[in-house]
């Protein structure tokens, strides 16, 4: 800072580098990820955690969550929740699988259908939230159940079962399969999708007008509207983005496994919110980043795979996840109070 060259204001406290770092929303998640990595490197380092296979396995788990966490974090910064992303993953998977398996659609048409339906669902979520003024927590809680129920109902109606399999023979060799479920140099493309989305999300949030509107919408919707920010449009677009990311994840998992399951994506909505919160996104909106949730997802991936490598019963994973969430929220509260403290 250039404070040294100017006459020092008596109200200004000199802020050190460390203090500035503490004000970054990502800090907690980065430190947490480093800690978790160090822990498993020591405990499970000799059991495969540090090998390239081990690394890719936890990165892949992190990527699947991280893809959802990007738009979920942006939506949370704008002040809203989307609890329906998990159900959307299941619904989109079935929307891709059934047309191919039952009606002989080409893969591209099935993907198009899934993304189109997702955008409509996202739009409806957003539209209902902004028009009724109801908390998005409630509105999307309703869509969580509606979507999941409809997915199960339609799938059983059409196929008689709750799983749709045997897609491999139809989708193998397609360019689209490589795009969503291929590998580049041994690295699953899902990891590249994740990194790419994080870069895109960060660009949007910090380097575009739309990003500024996201912060403004979540920080104070009335004030933002008063200066001309299209608050409703911002929210609806972000709801559409979360649904689209759920469909992307569905495409990745369906094409990778060659099958769809109506229950796929369960609890993903909460895991994505956990990743965002661990990543420093404020539950009440107006503050956060996309980089932070990336590290949140990384922690999730490292712990879930790391526990497997240590040989500890994986039942304990959820205990750890819950504890992490609580700590993250406490840290975030502390940081926010510092940031918003007025003299």
**Per-residue DSSP letters for 273-323?**
HHHHHHTT--TTSS---SHHHHHHHHHHHHHHHHHHHHT--GGGHHHHHHH
201 is an interface residue for other proteins by CB under 8 A = no
Considering only 24, 47, 225, 233, the residue that binds other proteins (CB under 8 A) is 225
Taking the complex as a whole, how short is the minimal distance between the CB of residue 77 and other proteins, in angstroms?
A: 10
Rounded CA-CA distance 310/284 in Å is 37
Considering only 287, 295, 308, 309, the residue that binds other proteins (CB under 8 A) is 287
Query: Nearer Cβ to other proteins, position 232 or 310?
Result: 232
Considering only 54, 216, 292, 306, the residue that binds other proteins (CB under 8 A) is 216
Token pair 């002989």: residue: 104
Taking the complex as a whole, how short is the minimal distance between the CB of residue 343 and other proteins, in angstroms?
A: 5
Binding mask 10-39 for other proteins (x = CB under 8 A): --x---------------------------
Tally of CB atoms within 10 A around 13: 8
Considering only 53, 169, 209, 313, the residue that binds other proteins (CB under 8 A) is 209
Is 149 in contact with 163 (CB distance < 8 Å)? no
Taking the complex as a whole, how short is the minimal distance between the CB of residue 208 and other proteins, in angstroms?
A: 6
Q: Which residues, including other chains, have CB under 8 Å from residue 64's CB and lie 6 or more apart?
A: 190, 249, 252, 253
Considering only 16, 222, 313, 319, the residue that binds other proteins (CB under 8 A) is 222
Stretch near other proteins under the rule CB under 8 A, chosen from 3-11, 90-98, 100-108, 246-254:
3-11
Nearest Cα neighbor of 88 from 144, 137, 162, 153 is: 144
Structure tokens at 115: 């993304």
Query: Nearer Cβ to other proteins, position 212 or 310?
Result: 212
Rounded CA-CA distance 282/5 in Å is 35
Taking the complex as a whole, how short is the minimal distance between the CB of residue 2 and other proteins, in angstroms?
A: 9
Query: Nearer Cβ to other proteins, position 203 or 316?
Result: 203
Taking the complex as a whole, how short is the minimal distance between the CB of residue 220 and other proteins, in angstroms?
A: 5
5 is an interface residue for other proteins by CB under 8 A = no
Is 66 in contact with 275 (CB distance < 8 Å)? yes
DSSP 9: P
DSSP 4: G
Nearest Cα neighbor of 121 from 99, 138, 143 is: 143
Taking the complex as a whole, how short is the minimal distance between the CB of residue 223 and other proteins, in angstroms?
A: 4
215 is an interface residue for other proteins by CB under 8 A = yes
Query: Nearer Cβ to other proteins, position 75 or 147?
Result: 75
Percent helix, strand and coil across the chain, each to the nearest 5: 75, 0, 20
Rounded CA-CA distance 256/64 in Å is 12
Considering only 6, 169, 315, 319, the residue that binds other proteins (CB under 8 A) is 6
DSSP 208: S
9 is an interface residue for other proteins by CB under 8 A = yes
343 is an interface residue for other proteins by CB under 8 A = yes
Interacting residues with other proteins (CB under 8 A): 1, 3, 6, 9, 12, 203, 206-209, 211-213, 215-216, 219-220, 222-229, 282, 286-287, 336, 339-343
């Amino acid at each position: 800072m250039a404070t040294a060259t100017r006459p020092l204001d008596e109200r200004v406290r000199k802020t050190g580098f460390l203090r500035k770092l503490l004000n970054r929303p990502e800090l907690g998640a980065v430190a947490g990820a480093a800690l978790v990595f160090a822990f498993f490197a020591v405990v499970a380092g000799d059991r495969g955690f540090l090998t390239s296979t081990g690394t890719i396995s936890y990165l892949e788990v992190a990527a699947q969550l991280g893809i959802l966490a990007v738009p979920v974090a942006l939506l949370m910064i704008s002040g809203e929740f989307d609890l329906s992303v998990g159900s959307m993953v299941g619904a989109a998977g079935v929307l891709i699988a059934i047309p191919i398996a039952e009606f002989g659609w080409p893969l591209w048409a099935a993907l198009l259908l899934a993304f189109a339906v997702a955008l409509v669902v996202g739009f409806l979520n957003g539209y209902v939230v902004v028009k009724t003024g109801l908390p998005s927590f409630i509105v999307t809680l309703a869509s969580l159940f509606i979507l999941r129920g409809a997915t199960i109902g339609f799938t059983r109606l059409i196929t008689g079962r709750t799983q749709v399999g045997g897609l491999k023979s139809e989708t193998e060799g397609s360019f689209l399969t490589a795009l969503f479920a291929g590998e580049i140099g041994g690295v699953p493309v899902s990891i590249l999708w994740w990194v790419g989305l994080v870069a895109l999300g960060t660009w949007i949030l910090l380097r575009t007008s739309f990003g500024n509107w996201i912060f403004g919408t979540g920080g104070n919707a009335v004030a933002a509207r008063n200066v001309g920010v299209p608050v409703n449009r911002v929210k609806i677009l972000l709801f559409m983005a979360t649904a689209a990311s759920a469909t992307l994840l569905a495409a990745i998992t369906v094409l990778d496994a060659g099958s769809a399951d109506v229950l796929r994506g369960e609890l993903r909505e909460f895991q994505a919110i956990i990743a965002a919160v661990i990543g420093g996104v404020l539950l009440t909106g107006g503050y956060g980043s996309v980089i932070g949730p990336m590290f949140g997802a990384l922690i999730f991936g490292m712990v879930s795979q790391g526990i497997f490598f240590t040989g500890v019963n994986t039942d304990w994973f959820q205990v750890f996840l819950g504890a992490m969430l609580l700590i993250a929220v406490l840290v975030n509260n502390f940081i926010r109070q510092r940031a918003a403290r007025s003299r």
